[in-house]
Amino acid sequence: MSQETTIDARNTFCPGPLMELITYMKQANVGDTLELLSTDAGTASDVPEWARKVGHEMLSSENRDGVWHLRIRKAK
Amino acid sequence: MRILIVGGGTGGTIVANNLARRLAGEIRHGGVRITMLSASDRHMYQPGLLYVAFGQMMPDELYRKQQSLLESSIELHIDPVEEFLLDQKRVKTAGGHTHEYDILVIATGSRIVPEEIPGLAEGGETFYSEAGAVKMFKALRAFQEGTVAVVVGVPHKCPIAPIEVTFALHDYFTSRGIRDKVEIKYHYPIGRIHTIENVAKWALPEFERMGIRYETLFNLKEVDAKKQIVYSEEGTETGYDLLVAIPPHRGMEVIERQSLGTGGWIPTDRRQLKMEGHDDVYVVGDTTNLPVSKTGSAAHFEAEVIAQNIASEVKIGAPVCEYDGKVYCFIETGYDSATYAMFNYENPPELKAPNKAMHWFKTSYNKMYWTSVRGLL
């Protein structure tokens, strides 16, 4: 049974949103979906680039009221 | 009021000492009792391990007796917790004892897990334990020429360490007169050379000036210790003659075993520092799942908030302050210069130019830590 987990990385500079995502991705099972919340503008490009290189699936990316919501499915 | 602190590292020790002073009167009159359960009778100054790895400190300089760091009113037991029974407000220890509490502070910390990366423990040097730091120094000492690869596991304690060890490697081989025979190659998990953008912007020209090569988006997948190759999750590989690794970390086994938090990190309210769903349980330092650095500095500032709030709960029945995400990190930029990064949830760090004075301040702090952890600084 795949799970969906939200990672609240708003207003954080270290370790930062992508590092938080990598941490949670290591803990997740294949098929699980992670939603990353971030107020860092760079997240919108950093996360898709990393997901593409590693081979995870970007499901969606949108900015709501200044907060990026990125959903990624663990593929491997 | 029984206050139980589980863990005798930086966070737990500062909470205990700070509380013992704030509640001295209540303790004297028998209204409050502070008990600490620690896994070790020795307290290690962990940032000193980096210096041990370069022969600049000896291991015995890193330790003090835990009892010697505590206010005399604190009851210390060297007896690690085996079981948290949060619904019953008590814990069970390895020694078979049960301790009841009214307020619990969990400060169990983190541990390195190099075994999560196949081949890393066999092929890599690390400086996150006394034995590892001494072994790394001997490996550096024996190294004459070739490629030194620095790789970084996730998550890891002390996010500034990858940069610091890389600068130290440059100065170490320079001081031995063999820098021209050594190639230093740095690898980092995200798309720039440090997670803090301002640190990355500052360090990049330093890397170029020192001739340090780098590769970003490099997450450890596997190490082939025989072929001396590291493979990344991103599909790349790098060869090495000496591998220096920042190992991945997890929270302590007891936290995972009891399902208190995935990866051993306990879900924690980022401002009140209470365990989610438990009004009588505080979490401090590495043990939290907070999106802040796993450092002694974060633990220190969190500990002050926790102690202030527990004391005010005892005195007026309510907490009085919140943690704002404050972290202050020294950044050693080589053998004789340093700078620092200070930030919180709202404000990113603005780096100052490295200088010798800050290095001497850091060198002094290596001794002042013992005053700090006693809660006097």
Beta strands in B263-304 (DSSP E): 281-283
CATH value of B114-248 in 3.40.50.2300, 2.60.120.620, 3.50.50.60, 3.40.50.1460: 3.50.50.60
Which residues sit opposite B35 in a β-bridge? B4, B75
Give residue-wise pLDDT tens across range B311-365: 999 999 999 999 999 999 999 998 899 999 999 999 988 888 999 999 999 999 9
Domain boundaries, chain B: 2-109+252-327, 114-248
Q: Please confirm, yes or no, whether A14 is among the known catalytic residues.
A: yes
> What's the gap in Å between the CA of B235 and the closest CA on chain A?
7
User: CATH fold of A4-73, please?
Assistant: Translation Initiation Factor IF3 (3.30.110)
Predicted local confidence at residue B375, as pLDDT? 83
Average pLDDT (B47-73) is: 97
- Partners of residue B190 in chain A, C-beta under 8 Å: 16, 18-19, 22, 46, 50
**Interface touch A14/B292, C-beta < 8 Å:** yes
* Fold match, B2-109+252-327 / B114-248: yes
Per-residue confidence at B376, pLDDT binned at 50, 70, 90?
confident
Q: Which residues of A touch B (CB under 8 A)?
A: 8-9, 11-16, 18-20, 22-23, 26-27, 42, 46, 49-50, 53-54
Tokens for A42?
A: 């760079």
Q: What is the ipTM of this complex?
A: 0.93
User: Who among A19, A27, A42 is closest to B189 (CB)?
Assistant: A19
User: Who among B155, B325, B348 is closest to A23 (CB)?
Assistant: B155
**Interface touch A19/B349, C-beta < 8 Å:** no
Predicted local confidence at residue B143, as pLDDT? 98
Q: Parallel, antiparallel, or unpaired: how do β-strands B90-93 and B98-100 relate?
A: antiparallel
Residue B57 scores a pLDDT above 90: yes
Average pLDDT (B77-101) is: 98
Residue B246 Cα distances to B140, B148, B155, B185, B357, angstroms: 16, 13, 10, 14, 28
Predicted local confidence at residue B172, as pLDDT? 98
Alpha helices in chain B (DSSP H): 10-22, 24-28, 48-53, 66-69, 120-123, 130-142, 161-175, 197-210, 253-257, 296-316, 356-373
Residue of B nearest to A17 (CA): B291
Per-residue confidence at B65, pLDDT binned at 50, 70, 90?
very high
Give residue-wise pLDDT tens across range B219-271: 999 999 999 999 999 999 999 999 999 999 999 999 999 999 999 999 999 99
Task: Round the average pLDDT of chain B to a whole number and report it.
Answer: 97
Q: Using alpha carbons only, how large is chain A's radius of gyration in Å?
A: 11
User: Who among A12, A16, A50 is closest to B345 (CB)?
Assistant: A12
Q: Are B150 and A5 in contact (CB under 8 A)?
A: no
User: CATH fold of B2-109+252-327, please?
Assistant: FAD/NAD(P)-binding domain (3.50.50)
Tokens for B23?
A: 């509640």
